[in-house]
Chains A and B, each alone.
Chain A
Amino acid sequence: MREDFDREAWPHFREIYRAALRLSRRPAEAEDLAQEVFFQAWKSFSRFERGTNCRAWLYRILWNVNQQRSRKRIPFTLGAEGEALLAETLAAEEPTPTEIKDEEVTAALDAISAEHRQILLLSDVEEFTYREISSILRVPIGTVMSRLSRARAALREKVRGTAAAAIISSGAAAEGGAP
């Protein structure tokens, strides 16, 4: 079994550490999380179905451990009314700025909620499919879609805010600098 674990799980260690660092933002915490993931993975490896996606399985453990540690369980049930409101909001929102600086996106990522940041990372960075995310987060696929929509809308809104603030501040600087 050790050989199987060496072959299936350990190649993902660096990736799991980096994902843990993106979640926790603190190297010491990320080391702890990554270690915990591999402890738990090893202890439950007999239940891992050989030939299935070990990477997604490890992420599922990572999300589980992270959630237990943060001791937060935030329900994401929108309901029909919420979905309708979301649809309206998304349709009516302002255009996304086309020229965006990385530091503005970093600030926007910092400003959105941890739950939104996490699901964006799973989809846009780790490139898991909606189905895989549904399995990692243990939520229905419809919830993945609505949560992602809200996360992306929140990020765009923050980016718009940051970009607008940058324009105002550069304008003010230019005015202040004029003779």
Chain B
Amino acid sequence: MNAALNVRDYSCGKVRRRMDSYLAGELSVDLSHEILEHLERDPVCRAELQARENLRAAVRRIAAATPEPRDGLEAEVRARVARVPPAPSAAPTLLLAASLVAAVGLASYLAIARFGGAPPPTARKPASAWPAFEFAALNHRNCTLRHSWPKENPPAEQKLEDGLDAELAGALHLAASRLPGYVPVEAHLCNHAGEKVFHVIFRRRGTETPEGLVSILVTRPGSTFAEGVRLAGLEGGRHEGFQVVGTSARDGRLIFVVTTGNEDEAMSLARAVLPTLAVAFLAHP
């Protein structure tokens, strides 16, 4: 503190605490005036103010050098957003209507009834469902490659369940029980393209690279991008190097398996897990 200066009401410490708010123009006229008075008398605080102003200017200069978006990005995003209808006022909230045990039992029964003796389900992707398949592939890419999830491998089971409600924790275990060759390594609720999604990531046993990762994605019922999309049986398609196979749950959710593998692997995983999960979400029988 500059004790030699006859500073009346404001010590240097008080002035310095308010200096940044003063520079940001956030102080009242009275406070600004008092600070100015102090600065007129105190060259050391004046120098400090100048140094802080220089620092702010440097931060602005550095930020101003941030590159612009690449050409065409805005047009691409505009086109994607244009395909999405505006959200309805409220999405219905659905609860698991049966216990997990009952769901597994019924699922097994229905899975056999639905897919057992029937010819193999089509792997063609219906045109109307294109945004949903694209969404699934990009969400898988985003979480597994960009965010490099899972961060911990393998994580403690308790950790996988953190933040999940009973319904989703049940779905996690259900999916895991149907995929014995895969270890669940990540489970979370993520936001992608404005949709909340339940996302479980599995790792093929014995693999370490992202190519060994498989996603199971479950949308919320009533999600707007899936409006009007009803996938009969298992339907699949390829997007940006990812194989996607999806189906509709009885409550309107879409459920997908996404993998970097080939169509046969994706379809066999989907057969193992999707019908069971589809039936587990039983809110609308």
- Distance in angstroms between the alpha carbons of A46 and B194 in the assembled complex: 14
| A155 partner residues in chain B, CB cutoff 8 A | 55, 59
B55 touches A31 (CB 8 A): no
> Could you mark each residue 33-48 of chain B with 1 if its beta carbon is under 8 Å from any beta carbon of chain A, else 0?
0000000000010011
Chain B, residue nearest A29 (CB): B146
Given A34-B77, A42-B84, A98-B54, does the pair A125, B69 have CB atoms closer than 8 Å? no
A145 x B21 contact (CB < 8 A): yes
Where chain B touches its partner, the secondary structure class is helix
Interface hits, B72-128 → A, CB 8 Å: 73-74, 77-78, 80-82, 84, 86-87, 89
Which A residues are in CB contact (< 8 Å) with B58? 100, 102, 105
A-chain residues with CB within 8 Å of residue B147 when the two chains form the complex: 69
A109 with B146: CB separation less than 8 A: no
Contact partner of B61 (CB less than 8 A), chosen from A28, A102, A130, A149, is A102
Mark interface residues in A11-33 (1 if CB within 8 Å of B CB, else 0).
00110011001100001111110
- SS class of chain A's interface: helix, strand, loop or mixed? helix
Give which listed residue, A22, A87, A102, A156, contacts B17 with CB less than 8 A: A87
Digitize A90-131: 1 where CB-to-B-CB distance is under 8 Å, 0 elsewhere: 111101111010100110010000000000110111000110
**Number of residues from B at the complex interface, CB < 8 A:** 52
Q: Which residue of B lies closest to A152 (CB)?
A: B20
- Verify A21–B16 contact, CB threshold 8 A: no
Chain B residues with CB below 8 A from A90, complex form: 13, 16-17
In the complex the two chains form, is A125's CB within 8 Å of B51's CB? no
* Interface status of B153 (Cβ within 8 A of chain A): no
Identity of the chain A residue whose Cβ is nearest the Cβ of B51 in the assembled complex: A96
Query: Which A residues are in CB contact (< 8 Å) with B239?
Result: none
**Could you list which residues of chain B lie within 8 angstroms of chain A, going by C-beta atoms?**
1, 11-14, 16-17, 20-21, 24, 26, 44, 47-48, 50-52, 54-56, 58-63, 66-70, 73-74, 77-78, 80-82, 84, 86-87, 89, 142, 146-147, 188, 190-194, 224
Question: Can you list 10 residue pairs at the A/B interface with Cβ under 8 Å?
Answer: A13-B69, A18-B69, A31-B70, A34-B73, A38-B77, A38-B81, A43-B224, A90-B13, A100-B58, A145-B21
Rank and list the top 9 A-B pairs by shortest CB-CB distance, nearest first: A91-B13, A39-B194, A96-B51, A125-B63, A105-B58, A43-B87, A17-B69, A43-B194, A40-B194
| Chain A interface (Cβ < 8 Å from any Cβ of B) | 1-2, 10, 13-14, 17-18, 21-22, 27-32, 34-36, 38-40, 42-46, 65, 68-69, 71, 87, 90-93, 95-98, 100, 102, 105-106, 109, 120-121, 123-125, 129-130, 145, 148-149, 152, 155-156, 159
